[in-house]
Structure 1
């Protein structure tokens, strides 16, 4: 493989960083050379995975309920094939624990609803109930309360086949569509992902279909259906609002303290009334509500046929539209089913895994940031991907030959083409006068761009432009996109100063009290990691003194945990949050001596493992003892490095007092040792092909419920962290 050009990362003014002659916390030349080889191997591997069109897309692994529900959907629709079933069952079996249960993440304990759904999927695949592995699964399920103790979503799947009574499920009436957007419990009170799921389920809840069951589930105690919905089946302990940042957690505590029983009693009574209404609905009103929900769903189908870019809303939308009379060959349903096929991964071992979503925009933005931070510049003659016949060709100056775009230019060109400029999604309900200007997570999801992807994409494009990696007219396009995106981001800032992912001020606590609410994070309040990414972008692009940016900085400072860390909403967990916030505060101009910076860095230092890496167990979302603790992983080690580099205490010269200077020198030494240990661990763990292995799930969907293994995280984050480390003041400039 040809060598890439590994360059020092330039400053914003185009100059190279000069060495600090007084620093002692530097790498030796041999160590720097070895680290450079590590970064170069990793960068070459990353570039080799780029699609010819310019994007990166890594596998997104979740839990086997995605696969089980895919089989249940196909059984319900009558389109399940032997080939699909056998391949999917092979994957599901591979995730089963020795005790017969299935976990929601690698290394985790068995989870009841997941185990019930996987059990049924294997029964669909032909595994006999008296097979020893399934007997263990059935016993495990019964010991934990059986089907009555499962989540509402699982019982909905069971009701579709007559394994559970619709009468014993909470009612979700389609008339909810008539509530004004700002009304409590309107669909816009819920987070975008919950909203996309709830609307089709209002149709399912109203029509209550039942397909013939292919077998009974007596061995799971399915015949022990309660006569009436009890408090336990109405809302299991898992239905309590998950921790979602200090703002949400404090609000939930206040709600519980002020009204310990009133809300639940009210909603239990309301559900009973809705059951009575379901038996005798107002005909014209119900029909109008169903048509309104139908139109809402259809209006949000994306170009690839999916709904919302995530599997659960797509599955429930397909069922809802089928109930309304859409044939499977109708263009809407045919496209939706094709989109589910596109979310399917076929493994070399013959197994079939369904992705809950796909992350090409997120993956590409992070890959570009990593390569830019590493100082990698892949010129056209070292192109790592095959050229396309229709590939864009950059025209040289008069008399000069045209050149093929570099890998980074192709990535920038693709990212620029993914901006949502002409569609007003759900975010516009609260911001009707704001022009579009964001990016989504998936290939096609124009209805739901998000602030996190937007911030990282524009930050990546801005850095390429600043580092002069883009030729005209790409730079002009980046500047225009920056203006649109920052206007959009400022509009989506919440009143508390922070940013959620998809909406502003989406922080209702009331929605968690409804009997239906047991499927994870139902709202999208401001979070530390998203706010940090937006603040970092705003500061790097010259908006550091804007009052709105300063409000974001203030939100980050106010939401620091007592131990110095920050909560991670979209990554596991406090290591991710802290590793995201410290670079943002550095970009905002906070010095390493600022109390928040010092506390955050000290917390990271206190959590480093003896092997030099960092890790955090998913159990930290429910048990503080696991905060920042777990086996070392490449991605979490990289996040900690990024945080420590931002809070680096290496600059100890100047007019500091003897005491503060000695303290700073001690901090600098601790930082240097920690960073060197982390770099050493990553170097030792690197595979021969330049990548890293990471089985642990370090991505978060819904804290406490749903976790992700981004297969790109094990590569892009170490490249980013090692690149910054290599080109920081931690080594002598070449």
Structure 2
């Protein structure tokens, strides 16, 4: 049976960590793990997903929850239609939810979770290991079983695969997953419910594999299935241009990272970087370090094995802490969880800038920041930093004997310094680094299927999170860089007000979508003293939320809002 191991890796060859592997999540198959009854229960969980896979396409992360073996002791509150909702009922429900959340916390303080939504992550990893000759040594029989499970579970009824499990079939993901099945030994006329014949028919019915986007063509060329002359290359001359020109490659976002500064845990392009290291030296340490980190990307759930682009350890930890604090439950109940999470957050801050002459490589400062996952990833993110800083500031006002010692002031100041570096002229805050390039550079986007990825952009969510963090910081440290912080907040509020849509909503880039963006924007405005009575933007935002509330009292929104840009 599979089990999740937390913060493991000490003394393993070719592994290095900046915080003793805190936040590291690795799945291990142990044939002796669990009782016969527990193994039977896991198989039932898998079977239930398979039977309902076309109705409920996203997993519930039930393998990890099953491993925690939490037994809820607080009965569920049922409220009938028209029945008055009492304070007791609401408080009981809150306490029940908080206990469940605490039960899912890992021993090192973070909250593990599945963040693998794209269906184009597994095939490139398989391709890379096949090309480098390490497929059988890295991908065990148990791994193959789970890979097959995932691919079969998420094949659409028309025979293709979507960009993600909820999406319609695309040539990109259908071609990659078909080749992956074949490479792992599934015959051309085999596969669950004739998976390969159905996939091949979908590909041919939609114009053939030659219509795959550029990223797909690259992998077809690497595998010898397509000629390199059929690819649209990124012009190498761009690297030779003077730096003052707007199209210089240094103006692009997140194209200038390297494995040495990210402990070979890279966003999206891990496998291409690993392949490049193998080409340079198949027996070199750089390639072996990549191999050692493959397990960091793998997640097991009831729908099978997924390959994550990056984990969400820090982001989930920061939001979980704030959820527990908002519950108003006593420290006797939530104190131990806060203590563990507080320690995890402090240990997960990035304590130094990228190595070497990082500015000549167009890297931005990272000292004082937090990333989306673990510090071994090393890539700074503004909203993750702001949410983590908020946690540290709030916890610094609480009894240290319960929640742990407050964060060192110099590390708090480092965090503020990073946040202050990311505001653009329009007042918005970017995600990773200052906006260097012109927006019109997006016309040279070569991905064919990602929008707005060539240059850095400002985001409502990042702007809001930074406002919230700096307003709180200003209360606790009123004299530190006072004028700069006040100026940032004023300009950031203007950005939020100017970014509002005519219907009162805000577009959210990092969640779905207008509901998500509006939630963040309203929080950012509210902490600066804006209210329904004195702020037109808040009034319009509230009206939008009231207008989109569903009959059952909640809110819901399709992922299609993201690219249609309408709810």
Q: Is the 8 A contact 2:123 2:180 kept in 1?
A: yes
Q: Please give the TM-score of this superposition, normalised by the length of structure 1.
A: 0.60
* The 10-residue stretch of structure 1 (520-529 or 81-90) with the greater mean CA deviation from structure 2: 81-90
Deviation, 1:571, is 0.8
Deviation, 1:129, is 2.2
Partner residue of 2:514 out of 574, 578, 584: 574
User: Deviation string for 1:600-658 (max 9, x for gaps)?
Assistant: 11011111111211111111123355x1xxxxxxxxxxxxxxxxxxxxxxxxxxxxxxx
Q: Is the 8 A contact 1:461 1:478 kept in 2?
A: no
Residue 467 (structure 2) pairs with residue 535 (structure 1): yes
Partner residue of 1:483 out of 407, 410, 413: 413
Q: Say if 1:49 and 1:161 are closer, same or farther in 2 by CA, change over 3 A.
A: same
SS in 1 for 2:293: helix
Deviation, 1:85, is 3.2
Deviation, 1:143, is 2.6
Structure 2, gaps ≥5 residues long: 1-70, 75-81, 475-481
Match of 2:318 in 1: 365
Residue 526 (structure 2) pairs with residue 586 (structure 1): yes
Structure-1 separation of matches of 2:294 and 2:110: 21
Structure-2 separation of matches of 1:452 and 1:342: 23
Structure-2 separation of matches of 1:125 and 1:460: 45
Q: Say if 1:605 and 1:552 are closer, same or farther in 2 by CA, change over 3 A.
A: same
Partner residue of 1:505 out of 414, 417, 435: 435
Residue 305 (structure 2) pairs with residue 352 (structure 1): yes
Deviation, 1:573, is 0.6
Match of 1:464 in 2: 395
Deviation, 1:50, is 1.4
User: Deviation string for 1:96-126 (max 9, x for gaps)?
Assistant: 0110011223332112201111111111123
Q: Say if 1:153 and 1:469 are closer, same or farther in 2 by CA, change over 3 A.
A: farther
Q: Say if 1:376 and 1:339 are closer, same or farther in 2 by CA, change over 3 A.
A: farther
Partner residue of 2:86 out of 31, 36, 42: 31
Q: Say if 1:364 and 1:473 are closer, same or farther in 2 by CA, change over 3 A.
A: closer
Structure-1 separation of matches of 2:557 and 2:153: 24
Structure 1, gaps ≥5 residues long: 5-26, 197-296, 384-404, 628-734
Deviation, 1:482, is 2.8
Residue 189 (structure 2) pairs with residue 130 (structure 1): yes
Residue 121 (structure 2) pairs with residue 66 (structure 1): yes
Match of 1:705 in 2: none
SS in 2 for 1:353: strand
Match of 1:218 in 2: none
Structure-2 separation of matches of 1:431 and 1:80: 35
Match of 1:694 in 2: none
Structure-2 separation of matches of 1:415 and 1:118: 37
Match of 1:91 in 2: 150
Structure-1 separation of matches of 2:539 and 2:178: 50
Match of 1:315 in 2: 271
Match of 1:189 in 2: 251
Residue 350 (structure 2) pairs with residue 409 (structure 1): no
Residue 208 (structure 2) pairs with residue 149 (structure 1): no
* The 10-residue stretch of structure 1 (333-342 or 364-373) with the greater mean CA deviation from structure 2: 333-342
Q: Is the 8 A contact 1:511 1:517 kept in 2?
A: no
Residue 374 (structure 2) pairs with residue 443 (structure 1): yes
Structure-2 separation of matches of 1:612 and 1:549: 33
Residue 498 (structure 2) pairs with residue 558 (structure 1): yes
Deviation, 1:559, is 0.8
Structure-1 separation of matches of 2:517 and 2:445: 31
Structure-1 separation of matches of 2:185 and 2:361: 49
- Number of aligned pairs? 471
Partner residue of 1:75 out of 127, 130, 134: 130
Q: Is the 8 A contact 1:182 1:189 kept in 2?
A: no
Q: Is the 8 A contact 1:409 1:469 kept in 2?
A: no
RMSD: 2.9
Q: Is the 8 A contact 2:98 2:324 kept in 1?
A: yes
Match of 1:613 in 2: 554
Rg larger in structure? 1
